[in-house]
């Protein structure tokens, strides 16, 4: 018995290690290229180790503004998504109302609708509202997939709070609104952080809406990366920008690591 447990432990560690190596391979390749001069420059030979790719990020005003735009639209998106999702998640978790199941189905359907299906009308709608070429437009468009996912994650967290909490609070004279604000929100604070992180993650890397909504202005990092491809692509710079674009997410990921896996305890609606 002892022998098999040890064997299983070794197999598990080997499998996990193999997967981590597989995950790292393209990332290692990317990081390696980002430190190499891939176009001939006066101060760096082709193929030599260099830091000029990273310096290039700071000297190019387009790239600097791309980082600012990406951060701006992701923050706006989180500021819309989370406050809107919390009451909805509460309702789906605690209340039964006419059409709740159908509404949840509709939300899920919007989450899995491919953005390319809605690109054209969203572009028209947003131009008539005057929010194309601005970070606000992208932030709003990304609610299409972030809002349903957020409701779903938060609903899991709220359902994990025992229902007796609600009942005691109501007996103590709390109104529903005050209960949510004073008792529920502090309890699900880690859940709100996880939700915000997932909004960040899905929004930061999205390309389809980001492309059609920013033809002249407000370009995020992914589009600035696209613009770097041309007749003579400095692939080292491209990889350096990609590495840099992953750093904020990686920092958040590391900060959130112990909460990351909590809160997908799915209750049914």
Partner 1 sequence: MKERDNTGWIFVLPAVLVLGLVGLVPLITVVNYSFFEIFILDARFWIGTEWYEAIIGSGRFWASFGRSTLFSMLILSVQIPLGIAIALCIPRRKMWVGITLAVVALPLLVPWNMIPSLWLALLNPDSGILGRGLGAVGWPADWKLSIPHTWAVLVAMDVWHWTSLVVILCYSALTTIPASHYQAAAIDGAGPWQVFRHIQLPQLYHVLLMAVLLRFMDSFMIYTEAFPINAGGPDGATMFLAVDLGEEIKAFNYGPSAARSVIYFLIVLTVAYSFSKAQSKLSERQAA
HSE (CB half, 13 Å, CA atoms) of 157? 28
* Cβ neighbours of 130 (radius 10 Å): 10
Residue linked to tokens 């290692």: 28
Q: Is residue 87 a contact residue for partner 1 (CB under 8 A)?
A: yes
Task: Give the residue from 80, 27, 63 showing the smallest Cα distance to 228.
Answer: 63
Site for partner 1 in 132-151 (CB under 8 A): 140-141, 143-144, 147-148, 151
Interacting residues of 39 by C-beta distance below 8 A, sequence separation 6+ = 46, 232, 234, 236
Q: Is residue 20 a contact residue for partner 1 (CB under 8 A)?
A: yes
Q: How many residues bind partner 1 (CB under 8 A)?
A: 94
Site for partner 1 in 236-265 (CB under 8 A): 238-239, 242, 245-246, 249-250, 253-254, 257-258, 260-265
Q: Is residue 185 a contact residue for partner 1 (CB under 8 A)?
A: no
Least distance between partner 1 and beta carbon 184 (Å): 12
- Helix 61-94 / helix 235-255 crossing angle, nearest 10 deg: 30
Among 54, 60, 94, 127, binds partner 1 (CB under 8 A): 94
Interacting residues of 42 by C-beta distance below 8 A, sequence separation 6+ = none
CB closer to partner 1 out of 103 and 183? 103
Least distance between partner 1 and beta carbon 217 (Å): 19
* Residue 240 vs residues 57, 65, 123, 188: alpha-carbon distances, Å: 8, 16, 31, 37
Q: Rounded to 10 degrees, what is the CA torsion of 162, 164, 165, 170? A: 150
Q: Cα–Cα distance between 124 and 121 in angstroms, integer?
A: 5
**Kindly report the CA angle at 67 between 64 and 71, in degrees rounded to 5?**
145
For residues 41 to 80, the per-residue mask of contacts with partner 1, x marking binding by CB under 8 A and - elsewhere, is ---------------------------------------x
Q: Is residue 227 a contact residue for partner 1 (CB under 8 A)?
A: no
Least distance between partner 1 and beta carbon 164 (Å): 13
Q: Is residue 84 a contact residue for partner 1 (CB under 8 A)?
A: yes
CB closer to partner 1 out of 43 and 257? 257
For residues 114 to 133, the per-residue mask of contacts with partner 1, x marking binding by CB under 8 A and - elsewhere, is xxxxxxxxx-xx--------
Site for partner 1 in 191-210 (CB under 8 A): 201, 204-208
Among 88, 138, 158, 240, binds partner 1 (CB under 8 A): 88
CB closer to partner 1 out of 42 and 198? 198
Among 57, 169, 213, 225, binds partner 1 (CB under 8 A): 225
In sequence order, what are the beta bridge partners of 14? none
């Amino acid at each position: 018995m002892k022998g098999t447990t040890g064997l299983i432990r070794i197999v598990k560690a080997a499998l996990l290690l193999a997967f981590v190596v597989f995950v790292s391979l393209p990332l290692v390749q990317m990081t390696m290229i980002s430190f190499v001069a891939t176009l001939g420059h006066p101060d760096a030979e082709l193929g030599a180790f260099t830091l000029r790719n990273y310096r290039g990020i700071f000297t190019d005003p387009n790239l600097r503004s791309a980082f600012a735009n990406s951060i701006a639209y992701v923050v706006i998106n989180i500021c819309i998504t989370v406050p809107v999702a919390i009451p909805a998640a509460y309702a789906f978790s605690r209340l039964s109302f006419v059409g709740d199941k159908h509404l949840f189905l509709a939300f899920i359907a919007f989450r899995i609708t491919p953005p390319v299906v809605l690109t054209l009308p969203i572009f028209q709608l947003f131009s008539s509202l005057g929010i194309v070429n601005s970070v606000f437009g992208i932030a709003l468009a990304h609610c299409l997939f972030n809002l349903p996912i957020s409701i779903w994650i938060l609903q899991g967290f709220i359902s994990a709070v025992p229902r007796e909490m609600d009942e005691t609070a109501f007996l103590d004279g709390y109104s529903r609104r005050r209960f949510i604000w004073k008792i529920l929100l502090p309890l699900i604070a880690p859940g709100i952080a996880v939700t915000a992180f997932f909004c960040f993650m899905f929004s930061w890397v999205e390309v389809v809406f980001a492309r059609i909504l920013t033809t002249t202005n407000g370009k995020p990092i992914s589009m600035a990366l696209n613009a770097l491809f041309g007749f003579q692509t400095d692939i080292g710079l491209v990889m350096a920008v990609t590495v840099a674009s992953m750093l904020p997410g990686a920092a958040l990921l590391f900060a959130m690591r112990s909460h990351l896996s909590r809160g997908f305890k799915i209750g049914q609606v």
